[in-house]
Amino acid sequence: MAATDRSGSLLKGNTSDRRAVVHKPLLFLLPVLLIFLSATGCGKPWQTAPGPQMLLRIQAMPDANRGRIFYMLVRETTEKQYLTESYAEIAALVFSEPGDPSVLGVFSLVPGKKAEFRVAIPEQNPVAFYFLFTEPSEDWNHMMPLPLKPSYEILIQERSVTIDDRSPGDLFGTSFFGG
């Protein structure tokens, strides 16, 4: 339908077409704006502050995993899960999509390097540390009994793991990051 003025004279051009042209750029910007807001966290529900965390101080010796990078998976678990799950089942959790909610962290470890990580302390269940060596050894998994400690020091040698839950510095000495 053509637009007219008060006298009934036809207006040049279709005003509804002009309105559509004006709004097309705005329609293009709407998805861009939505993507920006979702990427910056706007529109997400409020998240509670993280609860207590445990500190993991790790020393992978140069001969750990025969000098090859490997993964460590930290997971909230039950004793039954811990005793029945295979190496393959745990390894599948490293890159699972969507991520398994029991996984507290997956970390790549470089032999000869020191590392420090923090993970949430679960409220009810124990935590297990899984070391995914290229060639699994009998020492690939460790369950930490309740009550969980605020920190653990982990020494990884060729195919063995030593975990200390005493005061920081007991396993590595006080110069863990100093030299």
How many whole angstroms separate alpha carbon 150 and alpha carbon 119?
10
pLDDT tens sequence across 123-163: 899 999 999 999 988 999 999 999 999 999 999 998 799 99
Position 147 scores a pLDDT of 93
How many whole angstroms separate alpha carbon 120 and alpha carbon 51?
7
How many whole angstroms separate alpha carbon 48 and alpha carbon 34?
24
> In this structure, is residue 159 part of a structural domain?
yes
Contact 96, 158 (CB under 8 A): no
Position 159 scores a pLDDT of 78
How many whole angstroms separate alpha carbon 178 and alpha carbon 38?
41
Decide which of 51 and 27 is more confident. 51
> In this structure, is residue 20 part of a structural domain?
no
Contact 111, 68 (CB under 8 A): yes
Contact 102, 77 (CB under 8 A): yes
> In this structure, is residue 18 part of a structural domain?
no
115 Cβ contact partners less than 8 Å away, ≥ 6 residues apart: 56, 57, 58, 60, 107, 109
pTM of the model: 0.67
Position 32 scores a pLDDT of 47
> In this structure, is residue 80 part of a structural domain?
yes
Position 76 scores a pLDDT of 96
Question: In CATH, what number is assigned to the domain containing residue 73?
Answer: 2.60.40.4150
Task: Please say if the pLDDT value at position 58 is more than 90.
Answer: yes
Position 157 scores a pLDDT of 94
Domain range spanning residue 97? 53-164
Position 59 scores a pLDDT of 97
> In this structure, is residue 35 part of a structural domain?
no
> In this structure, is residue 46 part of a structural domain?
no
pLDDT tens sequence across 62-119: 999 999 999 999 999 999 999 999 999 999 999 998 999 999 999 999 999 999 999 9
> In this structure, is residue 121 part of a structural domain?
yes
How big is the CA angle at 147 (ends 145 and 151), to the nearest 5 degrees?
Answer: 85
**Domain count within the chain:** 1
Decide which of 17 and 123 is more confident. 123
Position 166 scores a pLDDT of 75
pLDDT grade for 10, boundaries at 50, 70 and 90: low
> In this structure, is residue 120 part of a structural domain?
yes
